[in-house]
Amino acid sequence: MAAERRIRVGVLFGGESAEHEVSLQSAKNVVDAIDPERYEVVLIGIDRKGAWHLADAARFLASASDPRRIELRTAATDLALAPGKSADLVEREAGSALPPLDVVFPVLHGPMGEDGTVQGLLRLAHLPFVGPGVLGSAVGMDKDVAKRLLRDAGIAVAPFITVGRRDGAPAWSVASAELGSPVFVKPANMGSSVGVSKAANELEYEAALDGAFSFDSKVLLERSVTGREIECSVLGNEAPEASLPGEVAPRHDFYSYEAKYLDDVGADLMVPADLDEATARRVRELSVRVFQTLCCEGMARVDFFLTTVADEAFDEGELVVNEINTIPGFTRISMYPKLWEATGLSYPDLIDRLISLALERAGREARLASAIDLESADVAAGEGA
């Protein structure tokens, strides 16, 4: 009896965003954990200029153990993805196609990877992929749009002001009067706390605006929320499930990029979080609701503040959504896989489940009609005339 063919998985990583190094760390962990007997891994590294490369599994990263120096080793084989019903990865110089992929696992963070752009390309190529689709990815990446949708759904978010580069930001006196002090200043389309600053006076505010606008043309000014930082992982398509919640206790001023990825002791991670049963249940239920409100499928991590004081905006013990991450980190200190491990799903089994969900969704979408039967349409129109 012939051995069952391995599923061919394209792990897509790197990218043009400021979270390039985080993606490299995540990809390394996914590759280390994936079952080689079940999957044939094809490594596709995207360099900082957006070029795609076929990476060598034995040496695709330089300084892999150092998050400050980690680097993609670009290979001689440059790739292009040719859209179509039988999409091919093509060697650009030779013009020859690689064996077809069964599914793609994007391990990309930030713009040009997590924001629906790559997801749209993969849809055009009719390639199944892990994680939310085009809409869920785009909405989840844009903090302004996500917060508006959540607010309209009656889900608590921190009060905020959206500022465009052309609009001009309100003066510090106006922003602090409306939002209180300190104010968080964030690029609307960025993750991993890149470009995020906390401002408590006019000087800090002006510097924070400059920093945020260097990453995006749209910036959020956000009220500071006093509370515990609670995170929950969500997994599934039409019937998503939530993991046990975890808690992040930053040792820095807030959970900055450095605290997340560069400093091994930048935060204490409590997995699971020390919550009473009723609060843990509320976190899990609300995580699924946020996931569905923002049109997500596959996976996401939902981050909350559990308020510890009452003020004019929130009651004590209220859950306030901070953000959703549609391709959460998969590094060795990342909460998404840690929370599922605590819930009873190992890292390798989590990868299996994510790939299964991608194939399941692709099968569902393939069954949708893509053309109109014009003869039937004419008959129906005649009957209703």
Token pair recorded at residue 133: 């689709």
The Cα–Cα gap between 53 and 46 comes to 6
In a domain, 299, yes or no: yes
220 and 255 co-located in one domain: no
More confident call, 358 vs 86:
358
Which tens digits make up the pLDDT trace of 279-292?
999 999 999 999 99
220 and 122 co-located in one domain: no
**Percent of all residues in the chain with a pLDDT value above 70, rounded to a whole number:** 89
In the sheet where 39-46 sits, what is the strand order?
88-91, 78-82, 52-55, 39-46, 7-14, 103-107
For residue 140, pLDDT beyond 90: yes
The Cα–Cα gap between 72 and 232 comes to 30
- Per-residue CA distances from 189 to 111, 112, 375 (Å): 7, 10, 46
91 and 107 co-located in one domain: yes
Q: Does the bond joining 83 to the residue before it have cis omega, within 30 degrees of 0? A: no
- Model confidence band, residue 80 (pLDDT cutoffs 50, 70, 90): confident
**pLDDT (0 to 100) of residue 385:** 47
For residue 376, pLDDT beyond 80: no
Task: Tell the residue number behind the tokens 């120096």, with chain if given.
Answer: 69
Helix (H, G, I), strand (E, B) or coil at 346: coil
235 and 180 co-located in one domain: no
Helix (H, G, I), strand (E, B) or coil at 260: helix
Q: How many domains would you assign to the chain?
A: 3
**pLDDT (0 to 100) of residue 64:** 65
- Per-residue CA distances from 197 to 39, 144, 206, 332, 336 (Å): 41, 17, 10, 25, 24
Cβ 160 vs Cβ 222: under 8 Å: yes
In a domain, 381, yes or no: no
**pLDDT (0 to 100) of residue 372:** 77
The Cα–Cα gap between 165 and 200 comes to 21
171 and 78 co-located in one domain: no
- Model confidence band, residue 85 (pLDDT cutoffs 50, 70, 90): low
Name 19's bridge partners. none
144 and 286 co-located in one domain: yes
CATH of the domain at 276: 3.30.470.20
- Model confidence band, residue 61 (pLDDT cutoffs 50, 70, 90): confident
219 and 331 co-located in one domain: no
In a domain, 361, yes or no: no
More confident call, 103 vs 194:
103
In a domain, 385, yes or no: no
88 and 170 co-located in one domain: no
The Cα–Cα gap between 81 and 360 comes to 22
AA letter at 322: N
The Cα–Cα gap between 6 and 37 comes to 7
Give residue 32's domain range: 7-130
| Mean pLDDT value across residues 14-22 | 88
Angle at CA 147, nearest 5°, toward 222 and 202? 15
102 and 202 co-located in one domain: no
For residue 113, pLDDT beyond 80: yes
Among residues 29, 30, 20, 22, the alpha carbon closest in space to that of 260 is found at 22
Q: Is 234 exposed, middle or buried (0-12, 13-18, 19+ CB in 10 A)?
A: buried
Q: What does the mean pLDDT of the chain come to? A: 88
- Model confidence band, residue 206 (pLDDT cutoffs 50, 70, 90): very high
Indicate the pTM of the whole model: 0.88
| Mean pLDDT value across residues 125-139 | 96
| Mean pLDDT value across residues 120-137 | 95
**pLDDT (0 to 100) of residue 191:** 67
CATH of the domain at 66: 3.40.50.20
The Cα–Cα gap between 64 and 90 comes to 27
Which of 205, 224, 243 is the C-terminal boundary of a domain?
A: 224
247 and 174 co-located in one domain: no
Among residues 132, 342, 293, the alpha carbon closest in space to that of 285 is found at 293
Q: What b/e readout covers 35-70, taking b as 16+ CB neighbours within 10 angstroms?
A: eeeebbbbbbbbbeeeebbbbeeeebbeeeeebeeb
Rg from Cα positions in the chain: 22
Which tens digits make up the pLDDT trace of 227-270?
999 999 999 999 999 999 999 997 756 544 555 544 556 678 99
**Percent of all residues in the chain with a pLDDT value above 90, rounded to a whole number:** 64
126 and 170 co-located in one domain: no
| Mean pLDDT value across residues 351-369 | 94
340 and 280 co-located in one domain: yes
The number of C-alpha atoms within 13 Å of 5 and in the hemisphere containing its C-beta is 5
The Cα–Cα gap between 76 and 93 comes to 10
